[in-house]
Structure 1
Amino acid sequence: MTVPENLMVRAVKTHQGDGIDVYAFFLHGSDLTRIADISRIHRDEKDVKGFQRKEIRSHVKAIVEFLDSGPVLFPNAITLAFSPDITFEVSRGPKPKGLTEVGVSGTLTIPFLKEGERVAWIVDGQQRSLALAKAKNSRFPVPVIGFVSRDVQVHREQFILVNKVKALDVRLINELLPEVGSLLPKDLAANRLPSELCNLLNRQQKSPFYRLIRRASDTGDEQSIVNDTALIAAIKQNLRPPFGALSQYKIPSEASNPDAMYEALILYWSAVRDGFPDAWGKAPTESRLMHSAGIRAMGALMDQIMLRADSSATPDTEVQEALLRIAPHCCWTEGTWEGLGWEWNEIQGTPQHISKLADHLMQLDRRLSRPTR
C-alpha cells in the first residue's frame, strides 16, 4: 500500500486580520500529529524557542480513556498554524440563492513531511492531539481551525490569547455535573456523585446543612456559609475504598446506593452539629468548624468514627459519644489548639493545615475512645 504524500480535505477558507488566510475543516484524529509539529518551549544560549508546555501524560491518558469509552461527542476544535506550503483549490459550481458567503469552499492539500519539517504547528490542543493519536478509533473526526503564518511570534500570541481566558469555575462545573446524564471523563465523573450528595444535603430539611452550602448558582444568600468545594472533597475522601465511610455503599460490580450514603452523611454531620452547637451555622470567620479546613478535617474524621460505629449495635450513639468526647478539646470559635499551638482563627484552608488538623482530631478520637481500665 502506497503511503500518500499529501492529505486532502474539504475546507472553507476566509480571511482575518491583515489578509491572513484562515481555514476550517475536519480530519481524522490520527492525522493531526502526522501533519503538525509541536513547538516545545525551550531556551538556547540567546533566546526562548517555541511556546508549548511539555506533554501532561495524566491529562492525555484521561482523554484517551474518554475517547475509548464508547460513542462520545468531542467537538473541541484544534488550532493549527500553517506555513504557506499548503495549497487550496476553490470548488466550482453554482451557489444557492441567498447564501451568506463568509468563506469559500474547496480542497485543502497538506503535505505529509517528517517530524521537525512539517507544514503545520499545533497552537491549541496539544494534549488532545496526542490523545487522539493514541485512541483506538484512529478515524475519529476532529474539527480544525488553521491560519497561515510562519511567524512564531504570531503562534505565541495566539497561544497566549487562547489560554489566558479564565477557565470555568470548578464550583460551577461541580454543580452542573449531577445534571449531566452522558458519559464523562474519569476526573469529572468522580465528582458527579459527591456533588449530587452535596445537593441533597443542601436541599433536604432533615439535613444539618440545609441551605447552608454555598453553590455557584447562589445569588448572595447570606445563610449559605459552607464552601461546596470543601464538602465535595470531603465526600470524595469518604468514598475511597477500603476505609472510606461511604465506600461500602459503592461497589464497582453492583449499583451504588446513594440513599444509604446520604443517610450516613446525615447521621454523622447531625452529630457534628449537636456536638458543637456553639460553632455550627456560623460564618467561617466566626467558626473554623464551618471553614473549608474544618469541613475537610471533620470529613476525614468521619471515616474513622463511622468504621467503629458500623460494628456497634447503636451506631447513632457511638457517633454522638465520640464527638462529645473530643468536643472539649476543640477550639473552633476561641482558644488555642493544644498540641497544635494554633489560635482558633489561625487555621487556614491549606493542604498542610487541613492534614495536620485532621491528624490531630483522629489522634484525639483514638486516645479518648480507648476503654479505661
Structure 2
Amino acid sequence: MRKPSPTETLVVRALHTIQGPGLDVYAFFIKGGDILRVADISRIQRDAKDALHGFQRPEIRQHVKGIVDYLNQGKVLFPNAIILAMSPGVKFSASRGSRPTGDARVSESGTLTLPIYDEGRRVAWIVDGQQRSLALAQAHHTDLAVPVIGFVSDKLSVQREQFILVNKAKPLSTRLINELLPETPAIVLPRDLAARKVPAELVNLLNQDPSSPFYRLVKRTSDRAASGAVVTDSALISVIKSSLSTPLGALARFKAVGRDGSSGDIEGMYRVLTTYWTAVKVAFPDSWGKDPRQSRLMHSAGLLAMGMLMDAIYARLSPDATSEAIQHEIHKVAPSCRWTKGTWDALGLAWNDIQNTPQHIKKLQDALVRAYATSHHSKT
C-alpha cells in the first residue's frame, strides 16, 4: 500500500556515508520534539496468526519520567544519539562544491529531507532511544538539538538485528532478545548470542506447533495476556542449551561441530524434544499444563530437572526411541516425584518449597538422575 502524501517535510543538514551491504547511513541533528513526528515506535507484539511484529519493549514510565525531570532542569547536555531505521522515502541531496583540503573522504555533506506522515505510517522507526524520544516529546523545551544516526532499510530483519546488537550490552530483557532471535534470519551474531539462536528457534516451534506438548503453553515477552501460558521461555531455552553443551546430552549429537550449538540438525533436535516431553506429559497428566504455583513440573526448577533426566534417558536409548519407550523410562522415577503434593523424600522438601535457585535446581536434578540410575542398578 502506498503512503499518502506527507502533510509537510522536515529538512536538516546531514552527513552521508555507506556501511554494510550498501546501506545509506546519515548523521544529523533534530529538535527533540520532532523525533516522534518522523519516527514510530515499533512495539513487539503478535497478531492473530501468532506472527511476530515489531521489536521494541514496552514503555518504562519511571525511566521516561526520570529523563523528563532531567531535561526540565533547563540548559542540559544531551549528546546521546537516537538511532533510527529509515525507509527509502527519505531524500538526500549532496552539497555542491569542492571538498576541503585534507578531507578524509569518509562522508559527504548535504541536505536530508524527511517526509512527515501520520502516526503508524511514519518514514522511520526508533531502533535505540525510545525512552529518550518519549521524554524529549514530553519535556518543557522540545527544541533541544538531539544527535541522530539513521540507516536506510525497511527490512524488519535488519532493524531487529541492529536493535539486538545495540542493546546487547544494556539492561535489555534476555527474554525479549530470545524471542527476537528466531525472527532475524539474516543476522550475523556475536558468539554468545549465536549459541542462543537455535534454542530460541526450538522454543518458538514448541509453542507454535499444535502437535507439540508445549503448544501455547510458553510465556513470551510479546504476549500481553496469554491465557493458558504457564512456562517461561527462558527455562526451556536453558534446558536446550544445557543438553546441547553437555557431550552426552540428548541434543548434543545433532549439533554441528564448531558452532557452539548455533547450527545443526534442527529437525532431529525438535523430534527428540517433542518425543521426550510428550512422554513427560503422558506420564504426569495431573501435573502438566498447570500454573507453576500448582505444579512444580511446569516450574523452571522442574523443567530443568526433567531436562537433565532427558539426557540421562537418551544416554541409554536410541535418538529414534518412541514416546512409549521414553514413558517406560520415566515411570521408573515417577514414584519419587512430588510435583503437586507431598514431600520429596530425597530432598526433605515439600513440593511447593522447591524454588528457582541454583541450589534447589541442582538438588532436584541430582535426585531424579539418582532415582533413575538406582532403578537400573536394582535390576542388575
TM-score calculated relative to the size of structure 2: 0.55
Question: What CA deviation, in whole Å up to 9, does each residue of 1:186-233 have, x standing for no partner?
Answer: 121111100100011111111111111111111212200011110100
AA aligned to 1:260 is: G
Residue 242 of structure 2 corresponds to: 237
Residue 361 of structure 1 corresponds to: 368
SS of the aligned residue for 1:278 comes to coil
Aligned residues, how many? 233
**2:230 maps to 1:222:** no
Distance 1:300 1:190 in 2: 19
Q: 2:179 aligns with which of 162, 172, 175?
A: 175
Residue 263 of structure 1 corresponds to: 271
Distance 2:235 2:352 in 1: 18
Residue 202 of structure 1 corresponds to: 207
Question: What CA deviation, in whole Å up to 9, does each residue of 1:132-153 have, x standing for no partner?
Answer: xxxxxxxxxxx999xxxxxxxx
Residue 341 of structure 1 corresponds to: 348
* Structure 1 unaligned residues grouped into runs of 5+: 1-10, 25-90, 101-142, 146-162
AA aligned to 2:348 is: G
User: Which is further off, 166-175 or 357-366?
Assistant: 166-175
Distance 2:236 2:197 in 1: 13
Q: 1:292 aligns with which of 300, 303, 322?
A: 300
Inter-CA distance 252–335: structure 2 relative to 1 (3 Å threshold) = same
Residue 377 of structure 2 corresponds to: 370
Distance 1:97 1:290 in 2: 57
Question: What CA deviation, in whole Å up to 9, does each residue of 1:288-316 have, x standing for no partner?
Answer: 000111011111111111111128x9554
Deviation of 1:251 (Å)? 2.2
Q: 1:323 aligns with which of 323, 330, 338?
A: 330
SS of the aligned residue for 1:369 comes to helix
What percent of counterpart residues are identical? 46
AA aligned to 1:298 is: M
Inter-CA distance 20–198: structure 2 relative to 1 (3 Å threshold) = closer
TM-score calculated relative to the size of structure 1: 0.56
Deviation of 1:167 (Å)? 2.1
Distance 2:355 2:111 in 1: 65
Distance 1:21 1:267 in 2: 54
Distance 2:254 2:112 in 1: 60
Distance 2:358 2:328 in 1: 28
**2:282 maps to 1:277:** no
Distance 2:78 2:173 in 1: 34
Distance 1:278 1:235 in 2: 24
Structure 1 runs (4+) greater than 3 angstroms displaced? 11-24, 95-100, 313-318
Distance 1:23 1:236 in 2: 36
Alignment of 1:1-373 (within 5 A): 18=75, 167-180=171-184, 181-252=186-257, 256-310=264-318, 314-370=321-377, 372-373=379-380
AA aligned to 1:251 is: A
Residue 86 of structure 1 corresponds to: none
Inter-CA distance 334–252: structure 2 relative to 1 (3 Å threshold) = same
Contact 2:296–2:352 (CA<8 Å) still a contact in 1? yes
Inter-CA distance 182–332: structure 2 relative to 1 (3 Å threshold) = same
- Higher Rg of the two aligned structures: 1
